[in-house]
Amino acid sequence: MNHPILLNGSILSQQKNEELKKILSNYPTLSLATILVGDDKASHIYVQAKIKACQSVGINPVPIFLSKDTTEQELLEQIELLNNDPAIDGILVQLPLPKHLDSYKVLESINPKKDVDCFHPFNMGNLSTGISNFAPATSTGIMMLLDSIKDQWSLESKNVVVVGASNIVGKPTAMLLLQKEATITIAHKKTKNLKELCLTADLIIVAVGKANLITKDMVKKGAVVIDVGMNRIQTEQGTKLVGDVDFENVKDLTFAITPVPKGVGPMTISALLHNLYFLYQHYHTKNNNDLR
């Protein structure tokens, strides 16, 4: 195997989607409701991508578009309808919500058994206690990428630095890595010695949203680097999507690295579809009421 290994999320997500499509063909069609409030352009693009991905594996997408003036009460009522609708297997509220809506309250109103994003405190709690490895899609997608090199590189006892401590990426990813018996440091805005910390890492996972945050002087030779960041930068050729890692200068130092685009991004959508299947399997085929 030549190094660095390029962890190509476009190829892996296609494989994962094909596997899932085969599995799902044995079950009744699952339905995923996606609520989008307002006109945010990027959110519309993400929702369209999720709809397309659902269709590609035989999941029935149920998009619900609400105006930007939707009140919290109206949104909570819509979620309650979906919670009680036996034809709906998963519910997703596209973030960010308009400022007048309380995201925490909204996410908490989703039935945890339909919480395909795994943002509900019940599901996050189970992840944190190690009872479950059901996790937010980006974290699950990262684990799929790491799993794809498990024959050459194992997480056990590795030193990991997760840069970024958000509830949707950094923290849940750290919890999944802990379940794999790695040793985790979570860095954030106030972390003082980021470079020194990163230099101790066998694995760096960066989810910040700052182009070129991780440069080659911060990466140990032979480390694995997972870049979650998505930043649009201006170049002479127009705008370009880049991650948080200075990919061109870092890649040759690494054992394996994700590009941006075609790295973590496509895995996130694939993992979301897998999350829907997880919920279905867990609550319908095992007749189980907890997430063990």
Return residues touching ligand NAP (CB under 6 A).
Answer: 138, 163-166, 168-170, 187-191, 194, 207-210, 213, 228-231, 264-265, 268
Q: Active-site residue 94, yes or no?
A: yes
Provide the pairing of β-strand 238-242 with 203-206.
unpaired
Active-site position among 16, 78, 94, 202 = 94
Query: E-assigned strands of the chain?
Result: 5-6, 31-37, 60-66, 90-93, 159-163, 183-187, 203-206, 224-227, 231-235, 238-242, 256-257
When the beta carbons of 60 and 200 are compared against ligand NAP, the nearer one is: 200
Candidate list 89, 115, 117, 227, residue with the active-site label: 117
Return the bridge partners of 162, or none: 186, 205
Question: H/E element holding 255?
Answer: none
Distances in Å between the Cα of 251 and the Cα atoms of 123, 243, 270, 273 are 35, 13, 25, 30
Residue length, the chain? Answer: 292
Which residues, 6 or more positions from 196, have their beta carbon under 8 angstroms from its beta carbon?
none
Distance in Å, CB of 286 to ligand NAP, minimum: 29
H-helix or E-strand spanning residue 272: helix 264-280
Nearer to ligand NAP, 99 or 190 (CB): 190
CA-to-CA separations, 77 to 15, 73, 109, 261, in angstroms, rounded: 38, 6, 9, 37
| Shortest reach from residue 61's CB to ligand NAP, in Å | 18
- In the bound state with ligand NAP, the residue whose beta carbon lies nearer, of 42 and 131, is 42
Shortest spacing between CB 95 and ligand NAP, in angstroms: 8
Q: Closest distance between ligand NAP and the C-beta of residue 120, in Å?
A: 17
| H or E segment and range at residue 105 | helix 103-108
For the bound state, the minimum distance from the C-beta of residue 193 to ligand NAP, rounded and expressed in Å, comes to 11
Cβ closer to ligand NAP: 88 or 265? 265
Based on CB atoms, which residue is closest to ligand NAP, 114 or 171?
Answer: 171
Active site residues: 50, 94, 117
